[in-house]
Amino acid sequence: MSVLNELQNDDKFGNSVEFSSCKQKYSSTLLSRSKVSSEINEALSLSSSQMIIRSVKRNVKKPNQISGNTLSDLNWTQSSSSYSREFCRLFTHTISSKSDMKTEIDCVRNLINLQPITPITNISNSSTLFSRLINYAIHGHLRVCHFRSICWRIFLNILPNDVSQWSKQLKKDREYFTMLNCRININPHNNHIKSDDHPLSYSRTSLWNKYFYSLKVKRLIAKDVNRTFPKVEYFHNQIIHNIMIDLLYIYTEHENISYQQGMHEILAPLLFVLHCDLTAFEHVVEMKIIPSDLWNDLNYIMNKEYFQADVYMMFAKIMNSVKNWYPQTKLSTYDHDKRIRRRTVIGLPTAITLLKSEANSTSDDPEQTRMVTNTIQNSIDNNNSKYFKIYYDNNNDELDGEDHEEIKNDSEGDEVIEKYERQNEDELKQPDCGNQHTFHFDQQEHSKHNCSGDCFLEQIHKQLLLRHNSLLYNHLKKLEISPKLFGLKWIRLLFGHEFPLQDLLYIWDCIFAINNNLAFVPYMYLSMLLRLAPTLIKYEFTECLTLLMNYPTGIDVTYLVYMALHLYKPHSYNKPSNIYDYYSIFHSITFGDDDNNNNNNNNNNNNVTNSKTNDIPDNTGCSSNDNYNYDVKTTNNDKNDSDVDNIDKIINIENSYSDSNNNVKNNPISSLPSLSNKLKSKIKNARFSNIFNSYREKTNIDNPITNTDIIKRSKTFKNRKQVMDIPKRRSLADLASSKKSIHIKSNEENIRLSDIMISTESTNNNN
Amino acid sequence: MIRKDSNIGLLFKIVLIGDSGVGKTNLRSRFTNDEFNLESKSTIGVDFATKNVKIDGKVVKAQIWDTAGQERYRAITSAYYRGAVGAILVYDISKPHTFLNLNKWLEELKEYASDDVIIMLIGNKCDLKHLRCVLTEDATRYAKQQGISFMETSALDSINVEEAFNQTIRDIYYLISKHPSFNMNETNIIPTNNLPIQEPNIKQSAKRKFCCT
């Protein structure tokens, strides 16, 4: 508790970290948005009265969904009449079902200095919530969101989809963590259980022996914790170090595994994200922007006293999947290690007595006593066999003597061999979960020695890399570059050493959103390899391995994520089109590989005809029917179809801009028929990928900005104004005139704001 | 592993081993890039760097392989030690348990590396004079018993780092040059690897012979 009280003094530190990053993001686009924000304020004020009427109708239609735990619409409408700022919240409440609108309003509110309300509490339908959160995470909108930790816990199934059950689930998890903390993290200085116990005693049931063992393990963990994210100032704090050491120690003792280097890299971003969300919540409370009903809900969720428990639950859930890639409990080859390990296990009965004493203290509540006794029985049953084995080992040690430490005896050597054989048998019986879920192939036989990620990497190379880029696969095999030399670091840290922290959090958004036992990780791995494939094929052993071990930092993360999504589900996510793709095709032709030439010809034909064929496995094009079905799944509400159609019209215009640029540059002959085809297609996800990738690649490729570039950008700005004035479709001649236009990120956001204008018009028409 | 690159004549693989936190990564970065980081991340898996060294007028390319001190696992170590002609054992003079664990690392070397690997013992962090826990005489005596060379370094102050690596590379070069099949005058000849190497896996040795021929 004292540690957490000191954390409250560091609020200013946390605030500076978070809001400075927000300022950096928005400083470049403040000028363009300040013009548009005034128009939005007018739109919001005009439509406020209509929104109130609409909310009353919604109350009449759905009376059953009103509950005391969640926000009720009646209270919402009453509070909105008294405050001018409540209009924005009400507006977001009614349109919260649309993800695109929501993100726009969040951006606008940051300009108006309003904090966004959590979209989760406003929706009772859980299926739309979960699918919408996945789209949030994939398109990178959680970077700005102040509720990232809540979204991660929903993805990891720590919090249920139903908002009303969050407090119950959190209460269970936090009580479980406090029980673990009391049982494992024992400090004899604070306890007065046994008067006979002495700090220098050598008995194995002594709490002091266990305490000194824990200090030794924590000293080992501290070596790595002190070297966590050295460039991030948040992790230079000693209080954070102590929290990390305690959480890592509790996890390793509870799971009965030894600490491995790399686990601290998994824990650190979770601390960072939760701390940012807690500081944002405290800032909102200080400003008194938040209404009282929402404060009551979030005060228990965003409670700093339970900081360690919330982080531990996320960490334990992630490590249960990542644990397969770490070496399991290692065999002890020294007698000294054996004694230490025995002490930890023998200490359990004393911990169980602690639990019994707690059960006696809570005798007033019968339910809690039952829960505590059940946990005690479970722990006794789980550890019963180990306890008796170690008791049998004690007799042997008494003959030898406690203080005498020899390296090996013959009998102990035999025991080690038997344990090793048992572990081999257990592993054959229990195959790796990772291979089952991530690949849709029959599981192959295990090798007898410990796999721990090695077989997983081999399967990625054999099943995925050989299929997508056999040239790179054969090249690495020829150079004898084993994937475990670089790949183990990638997957054990979930790409933590390869990317800066802000980009890493976006990758983890996608990994947790597609939470099928971390099914996204091998495709992200493959995407990173394919991105470097043209340069790796040229290089020899030394340059290849150096490049793979020190992944270049200039690569666009968004491209890698969208490429990985395409590799994961080719029918749902289109391949991100990029100047780089044509560059890679050009390079593959120069190598003179006939298969690649045939594939490229097929891809070019698909681009022209826009038809789908199942024969080609690398087909990147999707028909309009599939896109339409995908859109229907994401938005189940029938009322919003008209709005979606209006949005799609603008999306078509937007795609035509980006596609026309790419086609004119790369395929001058077939530019006109492809334009007509792509006007018909509705690609929702491609809009983001095209705009982001085209912007970022050009910034990488372009020389320092010249006067002609400035003139071109001003021209595009004028063209965007024309788009806002004319919402209808534009003719082919107008599209051809905009060949040389360059997409700028701020212009893309202007188009998003124009979506709001059109949606408000459509709602007025409906009313 | 003696391999001929397209540009450079000889390629020596040298591995760095030792406990976690003794300064292996900073030794490597000091030798290859002349850099020292007080804020360095923990090495996960394997790290890798190269540098060219001139010996007797000939250019030798040294591959310095760095690994995590805590990771002692067969899946990685077998690939890590394969083809290594030099090994550098590192301990921290301010932490005596890192010196006591050297026996464990030597056993690992004997198990996975070739028999004629050149071993250098390095006591790092000699700038921490007030925190010294391992005497130089004790380390020298231990090195003589094991038949390996010894040197104390400081990656922070750049003391003896260059000398330690250069001595290891020079010893490797002289060992190879003593072999009769090696012809020093003719640089075009690729030296065949006829040195007696005992590998735990027969398949790997078969592959190596195929690669050398």
The residue-averaged pLDDT of B91-117 equals: 86
**For position B133, what pLDDT does the model report?**
93
Work out the pLDDT band at A42, boundaries 50, 70, 90: very low
Topology at the third CATH level for domain A442-585: Cyclin A; domain 1 (1.10.472)
Nearest CA in chain A to B7: A540
Work out the pLDDT band at A502, boundaries 50, 70, 90: confident
Q: Which residues of A touch B70 (CB under 8 A)?
A: 260-261
Question: Would you tell me how many other CB atoms lie within 10 Å of the CB of residue B36?
Answer: 18
Distance CA A111, CA A29 (A): 10
Q: How do beta strands B10-18 and B46-55 pair?
A: unpaired
Dihedral over alpha carbons B88, B92, B95, B96 (to 10 degrees): 40
Distance CA A514, CA A757 (A): 33
Distance CA B170, CA A442 (A): 52
Q: Which residues of B touch A327 (CB under 8 A)?
A: 71, 73
Work out the pLDDT band at A266, boundaries 50, 70, 90: very high
Contact with chain B for residue A486, Cβ under 8 A: yes
Cβ within 8 Å, pair A261-B42: yes
Nearest CA in chain A to B44: A489
Work out the pLDDT band at A16, boundaries 50, 70, 90: very low
Among residues 40-79 of chain B, which lie with CB inside 8 Å of chain A?
Answer: 40-50, 61, 63, 68, 70-76, 79
Q: Residues B116, B175: contact at Cβ < 8 Å? A: yes
Q: Judge whether residue A270 has pLDDT over 90.
A: yes
Q: How many residues does chain B have?
A: 213
Q: Residues A603, A577: contact at Cβ < 8 Å? A: no
- Average per-residue pLDDT for chain A: 58
Choose the weakest-confidence range: A124-138, A194-208, A560-574, B197-211.
Answer: B197-211
The residue-averaged pLDDT of A407-414 equals: 36
Q: Which residues of A touch B6 (CB under 8 A)?
A: 540
Q: Residues A712, A635: contact at Cβ < 8 Å? A: no
Work out the pLDDT band at A584, boundaries 50, 70, 90: very low
Contact with chain B for residue A261, Cβ under 8 A: yes
**For position A504, what pLDDT does the model report?**
92
Burial of A541 (0-12, 13-18, 19+ CB in 10 A): middle
Contact with chain B for residue A489, Cβ under 8 A: yes
Distance of CA A722 to the CA centre of its chain: 38
Q: Judge whether residue A439 has pLDDT over 60.
A: no
Q: Specify the higher pLDDT residue, A555 or B1.
A: A555
Distance CA A250, CA A235 (A): 20
Q: Of the segments A179-193, A589-603, B107-121, which one has the largest average pLDDT value? A: B107-121
Q: Identify the CA nearest to A271 among candidates A233, A315, A232.
A: A315
Q: Judge whether residue A549 has pLDDT over 60.
A: yes
The residue-averaged pLDDT of A651-659 equals: 41
Distance CA B27, CA B69 (A): 14
Q: Judge whether residue B171 has pLDDT over 70.
A: yes
- Average per-residue pLDDT for chain B: 77
The residue-averaged pLDDT of A324-334 equals: 55
Burial of B194 (0-12, 13-18, 19+ CB in 10 A): exposed
**What interhelical angle do A148-155 and A126-138 show, nearest 10?**
110
Looking at residue A114, the DSSP 8-state letter turns out to be P
Of B6, B21, B74, the CB nearest to A223: B21
Q: How far does the CA of residue B48 sit from the closest CA of chain A (Å)?
A: 6
Burial of A46 (0-12, 13-18, 19+ CB in 10 A): exposed
Query: Cβ contacts of residue A725 below 8 Å, gap of 6+?
Result: none
Cβ within 8 Å, pair A489-B37: no
**Phi and psi for A162 in degrees, rounded to 5?**
-80, 125
Residue A381 has which token pair?
Answer: 């049953």
Place of tokens 């948005």: A33
Quick: pLDDT tens for A464-487. Answer: 888 788 889 998 988 878 887 889
Distance CA A633, CA A626 (A): 11
**For position A128, what pLDDT does the model report?**
63
Place of tokens 């937007």: A654
Nearest CA in chain B to A327: B73
Work out the widest C-alpha separation in chain A, in whole angstroms.
96
Q: From start to end of A535-598, where are the E strands?
A: none
Handedness of CA A120, A122, A126, A131 (dihedral sign): negative
Going from N- to C-terminal start, the domains of chain A cover: 82-112+129-190+202-336, 442-585
Contact with chain A for residue B174, Cβ under 8 A: no
Size of interface A-B (CB pairs under 8 A): 81
Work out the pLDDT band at A8, boundaries 50, 70, 90: very low
**For position A410, what pLDDT does the model report?**
36
Place of tokens 């292996």: B24
**For position A315, what pLDDT does the model report?**
94
Cβ within 8 Å, pair B79-A546: no
Q: Which residues of A touch B41 (CB under 8 A)?
A: 227-230, 497
Complex-level ipTM: 0.74
Distance CA B72, CA B51 (A): 26
Q: Judge whether residue B78 has pLDDT over 90.
A: no
Distance CA A465, CA A444 (A): 18
Q: How far does the CA of residue B1 sit from the closest CA of chain A (Å)?
A: 13
Distance CA B92, CA B139 (A): 11
Q: How far does the CA of residue A549 sit from the closest CA of chain B (Å)?
A: 7
Q: How far does the CA of residue B68 sit from the closest CA of chain A (Å)?
A: 8
Work out the pLDDT band at A555, boundaries 50, 70, 90: confident
With a pLDDT cut of 70, the percent of chain A lying above it is 39
Coil, strand or helix: which one is A16? helix
Choose the weakest-confidence range: A74-88, A555-569, A703-717.
Answer: A74-88
Place of tokens 């116990």: A197
**For position B119, what pLDDT does the model report?**
93
Distance CA B84, CA B80 (A): 8
Q: Residues A652, A682: contact at Cβ < 8 Å? A: yes
Cβ within 8 Å, pair B46-A224: no
Q: Judge whether residue B25 has pLDDT over 70.
A: yes
With a pLDDT cut of 70, the percent of chain B lying above it is 76
**For position A671, what pLDDT does the model report?**
39
Of A224, A488, A540, the CB nearest to B45: A488
Among residues 241-260 of chain A, which lie with CB inside 8 Å of chain B?
Answer: 260
Q: Judge whether residue A495 has pLDDT over 50.
A: yes
Distance CA A596, CA A689 (A): 25
Sheet holding B86-92, edge to edge: B46-55, B58-67, B10-18, B86-92, B118-124, B149-152
Cβ within 8 Å, pair B45-A485: yes
Coil, strand or helix: which one is A240? helix
**For position B40, what pLDDT does the model report?**
80
Residue A30 has which token pair?
Answer: 């403040």
**What interhelical angle do A126-138 and A501-513 show, nearest 10?**
140
**For position A51, what pLDDT does the model report?**
37
Distance CA A56, CA A63 (A): 11
Contact with chain B for residue A476, Cβ under 8 A: no
Nearest CA in chain A to B45: A489
Contact with chain B for residue A504, Cβ under 8 A: no
Place of tokens 């720590």: A158
With a pLDDT cut of 90, the percent of chain B lying above it is 24
Q: Judge whether residue A5 has pLDDT over 50.
A: no
Q: Which residues of B43-54 are buried (b: 16+ CB within 10 A; e: fewer)?
A: bbbbbbbbeebe
- Set out the domains of chain B in order of their start, with CATH numbers: 10-178 (3.40.50.300)
Nearest CA in chain B to A493: B44
Distance of CA A54 to the CA centre of its chain: 36
The residue-averaged pLDDT of A186-200 equals: 66
Of B49, B72, B73, the CB nearest to A452: B73
For chain B, counts of helices (H) and of strands (E): 7, 6
Of B45, B50, B73, the CB nearest to A542: B50
Contact with chain B for residue A429, Cβ under 8 A: no
Q: Of the segments A25-29, A113-117, B66-70, which one has the largest average pLDDT value? A: B66-70
Quick: pLDDT tens for A523-542. Answer: 999 999 998 999 898 887 88
Choose the weakest-confidence range: A82-86, A162-166, A290-294, A762-766.
Answer: A82-86
Q: Which residues of B touch A220 (CB under 8 A)?
A: 20
